[in-house]
Chain A
Amino acid sequence: MKVIPIPAGTKDILPSEAAELRQLEVVARRVFGSFGYGEVVTPTLETGTALAAAGERRFGDSFRLSGQEGEVLYLRPEMTTPIARLVATKLADREPPFRLCYFANSFRPTKPQRGRQSEFMQAGVELIGMDSPAVDAEVLGVLCQVLESCGLEDFAVGLGESSFFRALLDSAGVTSEERGSIFETLVKRDRVRLGAVVDGLDLSDDDKQAIMDVTGLRGGSEVLTRAQDLVRAPAMDEALKRLARTFYLVSRYGYAGRILFDLGMFRNFDYYTGIVFEVYSSGLGFPIGGGGRYDGLLARFGRPAPAVGFAIGLDRLHIAVTERGGMPVSGRPGVALVDGLDAALELASRLRDSGAAVFSLPEGTGAGQALDAAAAAGLSFAALPQEGGFLLLDQSGGRELVSAERLIGALTGEAS
């Protein structure tokens, strides 16, 4: 066998896995649609202008190539920025709110050893033009409903509110330079270094302890009570009230039991302005998806508007779903039909018309080979033309001589 490599961080997906991934897409599309989210498709390539508006931090390490005129083009590293661009330009004359969803592959160079694909499939929504706990709750409701509908049983949504910590730093009088060094340790998840940085700041011991407490505060609803004790400014109280209100509304969607509070969650804090969240499943060491409120991004494209959204990594969701028992089989009935290319062509057409899948094989294919072909294509039956009808074989060893009418009946579940 000749070895022809594919780029690092990419993969070929074979029919059985592809069918399952597309099935997850179908389920997500149905849930998104039921909330009125309209699907958009944007170019895989973006210009530097669009990405520069979004900020270097989000695009600095994207794949790039050059266009016909020598201009630099970028492979989109995520979908939120293309949608912000689309809303600011193509939907400029329409009134918000916009409920948009997408199914798209995005690209990021693989950081060595990070367990992440360079090309990955995402499903997500963006709700643009409204800002309230009720709107945040809807988006969380959509997220939970998609995950449950996909058959993911053991998941939790970690939910934080980035304005709570920001308000704490404001009230403690932490300078923007000091903020930078605090955030750097949070990004690296290095609590040892965070402790050292906070220790070195010119703050009261009380404020220092509060910074350490908030960044480690996570758990059930008792977190809200514990956070209340740390409130030392009206803005902190407001952030907490907002979070509690969001949680109450999520509970009315029926998903209170999925929420895990996490006031120490920091996802791109220079970008998210309100709630932030991540999806966890116990079989997986990485989050399956996440999102939050980003009220500043649209203004960079000249159309200020509040926005909230999330992206689910479909590959990761697929791993998490199949980890526990696998996907519900939703395959249609089907047959590998010998001579379906010619002599039995009309029968093949009739079978297809009545909803069965037909995998045609050339004349003279043997029974064993036909059953193997059926199995490889995910079909339960094979059929071979015989004197007086068809020999119908199933994967468990059953064989029966049937008429064409009976064959159609057997495959479509109708009595002949």
Chain B
Amino acid sequence: MVASPIPDGGLRLAIPRGNLFAETLDVLAMVGFDVAELRKNDRKLVFEVGPGRTIITTRPSDVPTYVEYGAADAGIVGKDVLMECRRNVYELLDLGFGKCRIVFATPADRDPEAEELRHLGSMRVATKYPRITREYFEGRGKQVEVIELRGSMELAPQVDLAEGIVDLTATGATLRENNLVERAEIAVCATRLIANRVSHKLKANLVDELARRLKEVVRG
């Protein structure tokens, strides 16, 4: 066997702070990462979690950016983020947890098709996923005006900012509370393991080993 041209220098993993954080740590603990300090310290951003193992914590939507540029070799992030940001990274494994759906929803008492006609063949849709929304409706030959919001999409139809919303839903409770009805499921998303395209080659053994062990745990 020929020695690798470049010593691997360890693995740096980017993980999202936010609602996937706790489950991500649970899974990493199961494959032997020492995550005790990550559970305790919510201000620190970079953690040494074993020989040659570093974890960096970022906003969920920044994880693919760190990985694409090689600032992290691998990352853990929701498929919804990957669909929206389209970074050039390897998607290696579906980790199964953090499952949710991206849906199109409108007020229960209104028919979106009629709304479309009323708005000269177009409809306003509020979302934090402008790309996914645009592509979904374009793929169906429907015109929409995408209104980009950062939070609480459910509010938009109630104050007539938009006729409908495209948003994540886990249980559907928030939709119901706000008198919204799911009209279409756009995608089902779970958390994924991603890798930088150069690290995937230069650190093949480390990346594959991490993927293999994560797979054993989540499929166990």
Which of A's residues lie within 8 Å of B, judged by CB? 113-115, 154-156, 158, 188-193, 216, 218-222, 256-260, 262, 278, 280-282, 284-287
Q: How far is the CA of A256 from the CA of B90 in the complex (A)?
A: 27
Q: Are A189 and B89 in contact (CB under 8 A)?
A: yes
Question: Quick check: is B197 within 8 A (CB to CB) of the other chain?
Answer: yes
Minimum CB–CB distance from A303 to chain B (whole Å) comes to 35
Q: Are B93 and A285 in contact (CB under 8 A)?
A: no
| Choice from B1, B85, B94, B208 contacting A192 with Cβ under 8 Å | B94
Q: Are B6 and A154 in contact (CB under 8 A)?
A: yes
Q: How far is the CA of A26 from the CA of B101 in the complex (A)?
A: 55
List 8 A–B pairs whose Cβ atoms lie within 8 Å, in order of A's numbering: A189-B89, A257-B3, A278-B201, A280-B201, A280-B202, A282-B198, A285-B71, A286-B70
Question: Quick check: is B51 within 8 A (CB to CB) of the other chain?
Answer: no
A219: which B residues are within 8 A, CB to CB?
A: 4, 204-205
Q: Which residue of B lies closest to A222 (CB)?
A: B1
The dominant DSSP class at the A interface is mixed
Q: Which residue of A lies closest to B92 (CB)?
A: A191
Question: Quick check: is B137 within 8 A (CB to CB) of the other chain?
Answer: no
Q: Are B69 and A220 in contact (CB under 8 A)?
A: no
A sample of 6 more A-B contacts (CB under 8 A), given A189-B90, A192-B94, A260-B5, is: A154-B6, A155-B5, A156-B5, A216-B208, A220-B4, A286-B197
Q: Which residue of A lies closest to B79 (CB)?
A: A192
B4: which A residues are within 8 A, CB to CB?
A: 156, 219-220, 260
Q: Which residue of A lies closest to B203 (CB)?
A: A282
A282: which B residues are within 8 A, CB to CB?
A: 6, 9, 198, 202
- B59-74 near A? 1/0 per residue, CB < 8 Å: 0000001001111000
| Choice from B1, B69, B86 contacting A221 with Cβ under 8 Å | B1
Q: Which of B177-208 contact A (CB under 8 A)?
A: 192, 196-202, 204-205, 208
Q: Are A192 and B202 in contact (CB under 8 A)?
A: no
A221: which B residues are within 8 A, CB to CB?
A: 1-2
Question: Quick check: is B91 within 8 A (CB to CB) of the other chain?
Answer: yes
Question: Quick check: is B88 within 8 A (CB to CB) of the other chain?
Answer: yes
With A154-B6, A282-B6, A286-B197: A113-B87 Cβ-Cβ less than 8 Å: yes
With A191-B91, A192-B91: A218-B204 Cβ-Cβ less than 8 Å: yes
Q: Are B201 and A257 in contact (CB under 8 A)?
A: no
Q: Are A193 and B5 in contact (CB under 8 A)?
A: no
Scoring A191, A259, A262 by chain B CB atoms within 10 A of each residue's CB, the highest score goes to A191
| Choice from A189, A190, A257, A260 contacting B202 with Cβ under 8 Å | A260
A258: which B residues are within 8 A, CB to CB?
A: 5
